[in-house]
Amino acid sequence: MKTQVAIIGSGPAGLLLGQLLHLSGIDAVIIEQKNRDYILQRIRAGVLEQGTVSILDRARVSERLHREGLVHTGFDVCFAGQRQRLDLEKYADGKTVVVYGQTEITRDMMDAREASGAITVYDAENVAIHDFESDHPRVTYTKDGKDFQLTCDFIAGCDGFHGVSRKSVPTSAIKTFEKIYPFGWIGVLSETKPVSDELIYANHESGFALCSMRSPTRSRCYVQCALTDTIEDWPEEKFWKALKQKLDPETAADLETGPAIEKSIAPLRSFVTEPMRFGSLFLAGDAAHIVPPAGAKGMNLAASDIHYLSNALIEHYTSGKKDKVSLDQYSHKALARVWKTERFSWWMTSLLHTLPENGELGTKLQRAELEYVFQSDAAQAMWAENYVGLPL
Ligand code: RFL
Ligand code: PHB
């Protein structure tokens, strides 16, 4: 098989790239190791920046998002037994965010891809990438016991943190930066009415919590947990009790609890790969970087990488020029935004979580910073500007 761009991974990054290239008449094949149902069962992101919505508009996959997505003009922060609102619209020049699950965006993009007739190979095993230091890269894989080869002009490594693309680059050609936080998040999805119309982030001496949602009848809540905890350590009763403890008394009393539809534990990590391009291989999304989830940035960052990468590929194929100037700029452009987003995600994580090694001094400093933020227009503007998403 032959294509122009081989895309490894059918997550948000790979699907969005495939769709934008398709709309520009560029042929791309997606090679994915799992199947469609497995991917659509993964519960992940929930908050979309306005810039991400614009990219999805450009990709013509946002019709349901505009119908069903919940526009949020602010969020609450709960600390010291009270709730304070951060008004995004006021502090970020009228900008807002949209709550619409990553699972739904993935479904919308898979449907668009199927309707367009573009090829996705699901259940591909032993996926390997070759010769990407040359102009004739290849992807090999096994499917139903048979070996296949896909030749292409470029490979887009959109296969997430554990994928094969980044790991195929020689260690001498790559520099990675990493911080693993000494705690995780236990997340529960439940068919219960969200406790508030907007998200509530909570800082408490016993740890962080977040009340989020997927729809007006479906809640997604998180509680800070130990890195060594397993799902079995968190029966639902314990989860709801821990969540209530971190909220102000009024919100805790209003919280509707119920059985978990899904429960999972996520470790928290900051991770960046430099550069994001190696010859004919381009890394995008979680394959190149990870942010801790407190800032709700992971999928948004995947979308902004794809904005830069799709523009570069489209310019390369449509300008008639043989050079690769636009492609040469991809890594630099993407990383500039990645690092600023890493900074914000690290800042929000540090501000809201309990870090055992910081001791009582750390708790006092966090409290002082939270009080300062809500007394300062400048600090709220910084938070809001980053939360709604820095310009592309
Ligand atoms: P994905 O989604 O991991 O997709 C990668 C795809 O590649 C496939 N794959 C392979 N395919 C072929 N060969 C191989 N060898 C392969 N190895 C892997 C995988 O099966 C998969 O289908 O990466 P992508 O596309 O870069 O998207 C990144 C986002 O999924 C991620 O950043 C977000 O989910 C992060 N995130 C959030 N992001 C936000 O923007 N807003 C949020 O509110 C938000 N909340 C979250 C989050 C992530 C969380 N977890 C579970 C880590 C909340 C949580 C709890
Ligand atoms: C989510 O709804 O899953 C979510 C929302 C906001 C975050 C992280 C996760 O900061």
pLDDT in tens, the chain (392 residues): 999 999 999 999 999 999 999 999 999 999 999 999 999 988 888 899 999 999 999 999 999 999 999 999 999 999 999 999 999 999 999 999 999 999 999 999 999 999 999 999 999 999 999 999 999 999 999 999 999 999 999 999 999 999 999 999 999 999 999 999 999 999 999 999 999 999 999 999 999 999 999 999 999 999 999 999 999 999 999 999 999 999 999 999 999 999 999 999 999 999 999 999 999 999 999 999 999 999 999 999 999 999 999 999 999 999 877 678 889 999 999 999 999 999 999 999 999 999 878 889 999 999 999 999 999 999 999 999 999 999 99
- Give yes or no for residue 51 CB within 6 A of ligand 1: no
Give, using CA atoms, the residue closest to atom 6 of ligand 2: 296
Write the DSSP assignment of 61-125 as a string of letters: --HHHHHHPEEESEEEEEETTEEEEEEHHHHTTT--EEE--HHHHHHHHHHHHHHHT--EE-S-E
* 201 is a catalytic site residue: yes
Is residue 91 one of the residues assigned to a domain? Answer: no
Residues 26 and 158 in one domain: yes
Query: Which ligand 1 atom is the nearest neighbour of the CA of 46?
Result: 43
CA atoms of 75 and 382, how far apart (whole Å): 14
Give, using CA atoms, the residue closest to atom 46 of ligand 1: 45
- Give yes or no for residue 306 CB within 6 A of ligand 2: no
Is residue 81 one of the residues assigned to a domain? Answer: no
* 193 is a catalytic site residue: no
Residues 171 and 122 in one domain: yes
- Give yes or no for residue 296 CB within 6 A of ligand 2: yes
- Give yes or no for residue 72 CB within 6 A of ligand 2: no
pLDDT at residue number 42: 84
Is residue 383 one of the residues assigned to a domain? Answer: no
Residues 108 and 34 in one domain: yes
Residues 214 and 339 in one domain: no
Strand order in the sheet with 289-290: 82-87, 74-79, 200-204, 207-215, 218-225, 175-190, 260-274, 289-290
Give, using CA atoms, the residue closest to atom 8 of ligand 2: 296
Is residue 246 one of the residues assigned to a domain? Answer: yes
Query: Which ligand 1 atom is the nearest neighbour of the CA of 163?
Result: 17
Query: Which ligand 1 atom is the nearest neighbour of the CA of 14?
Result: 25
Is residue 79 one of the residues assigned to a domain? Answer: no
Is residue 58 one of the residues assigned to a domain? Answer: no
Residues 133 and 26 in one domain: yes
| Residue 122, CA atoms < 13 Å, CB-side half-sphere | 12
Q: Could you tell me the distance, in angstroms and rounded to a whole number, from the CA of residue 47 to the centre of ligand 1?
A: 14
* 72 is a catalytic site residue: yes
Q: Could you tell me the distance, in angstroms and rounded to a whole number, from the CA of residue 244 to the centre of ligand 1?
A: 29
Ligand closest in space to the Cα of 269: 1
Give, using CA atoms, the residue closest to atom 26 of ligand 1: 285
Residues 216 and 170 in one domain: no
Burial class for 356, CB neighbours closer than 10 Å (0-12, 13-18, 19+): exposed
Q: Could you tell me the distance, in angstroms and rounded to a whole number, from the CA of residue 134 to the centre of ligand 2?
A: 40
Characterize the bridge pairing of strands 97-99 and 70-72.
Answer: antiparallel
Residues 28 and 107 in one domain: yes
Nearest to 205, CA basis, from 371, 77, 80, 350: 80
Mutate which of 220, 265, 299, 301 for ligand 1 pocket (most atoms within 8 A of beta carbon): 299
Residues 159 and 308 in one domain: yes
Residues 242 and 167 in one domain: no
- Give yes or no for residue 196 CB within 6 A of ligand 2: no
Residues 325 and 358 in one domain: no
Q: Which is the catalytic residue, given 289, 297, 307, 353? A: 297
Residues 226 and 111 in one domain: no
- Give yes or no for residue 219 CB within 6 A of ligand 2: no
Is residue 384 one of the residues assigned to a domain? Answer: no
Mutate which of 30, 53, 56, 102 for ligand 1 pocket (most atoms within 8 A of beta carbon): 102
Write the DSSP assignment of 129-166 as a string of letters: EE-TTSSS-EEEEEETTEEEEEE-SEEEE---TTSSTG
Range of the domain at 323: 5-48+64-70+101-178+269-349
| Domain total of the chain | 2
* 322 is a catalytic site residue: no
pLDDT at residue number 386: 98
Q: State pTM to two decimals.
A: 0.96
Query: Which ligand 1 atom is the nearest neighbour of the CA of 305?
Result: 26
Query: Which ligand 2 atom is the nearest neighbour of the CA of 297?
Result: 10
Is residue 83 one of the residues assigned to a domain? Answer: no
| Residue 66, CA atoms < 13 Å, CB-side half-sphere | 8
pLDDT at residue number 46: 86
Residue 256 sits in a domain whose CATH number is 3.30.9.10
Q: Could you tell me the distance, in angstroms and rounded to a whole number, from the CA of residue 99 to the centre of ligand 2?
A: 9
- Give yes or no for residue 47 CB within 6 A of ligand 2: yes
Residue 164 sits in a domain whose CATH number is 3.50.50.60
Residues 31 and 166 in one domain: yes
Long-range contact set of residues 23-26: C-beta below 8 Å, sequence gap at least 24 = 23/59, 23/60, 24/310, 24/314, 24/317, 24/318, 26/313, 26/314, 26/317
